[in-house]
Amino acid sequence: MLTLAYLIAITAEAMTGALAAGRRQMDLFGVSLIAFLTALGGGTVRDVLLGNFPVNWTRHPEYIYLTIGAGLFTWLIVRWVHKLRQLFLVLDAIGLVAFTLIGCNVGLELGYELPVVVMAGIITGIFGGILRDILCQREPEVLHRELYASVSLIVALLYLQLRHLGINEDSTLLAAFSVGVLLRMCALRWHWQLPTFQVKATA
């Protein structure tokens, strides 16, 4: 289940990256690069920080073809993409949760302490979008939009707690996955946000 969700996730994230690059009127190389980094950047940053070498996508070159291909496909169908906005939101939620769970698993397999495992999940979940926004000269959306990074945190904590309670892996993944996607979609539907920190400028 997680592998299929991962493939869906990197495809969807590559397409959102391509759309962001298109809004900045980048050429095909720029579109391909942003698509690749959006889809696989989070996992790359995680692997570098955790010392998990070789980096995941270098062992699976098919991910390169898939993400760049998805980006270029988006360029071809861009005139119809606006009609698929709701589908992209669902796929993005699936991607966030799948990346988070995969990141947690990598941290666990490497034997890190739980706080590091949680951070590995969050970094995998959100950092591709942060790289996309920085390279497209936008303020990272995860820092001020509807609950996003917070969803990743909740998913990571729920997954680890269920594992600690001894619940079997399939049930644990299904529960964490379902809660995460539902929470993200509710946040989008009702615009749930964390309180913002505002400092008024002084003369």
Q: For residue 109, which of 121, 127, 98 has the smallest C-alpha distance?
A: 121
pLDDT at position 2: 78
**Amino acid at position 159, single letter:** Y
Q: Each residue of 107-133: pLDDT tens digit?
A: 999 999 999 999 999 999 999 999 999
Q: pLDDT confidence of 203, banded at 50, 70, 90?
A: low
Report pLDDT digits (tens) over 20-61: 999 999 999 999 999 999 999 999 999 999 999 999 999 999
| Domain extents in the chain | 2-190
pLDDT above 90 covers a percentage of the chain that reads 73
189: tokens are 């539907």
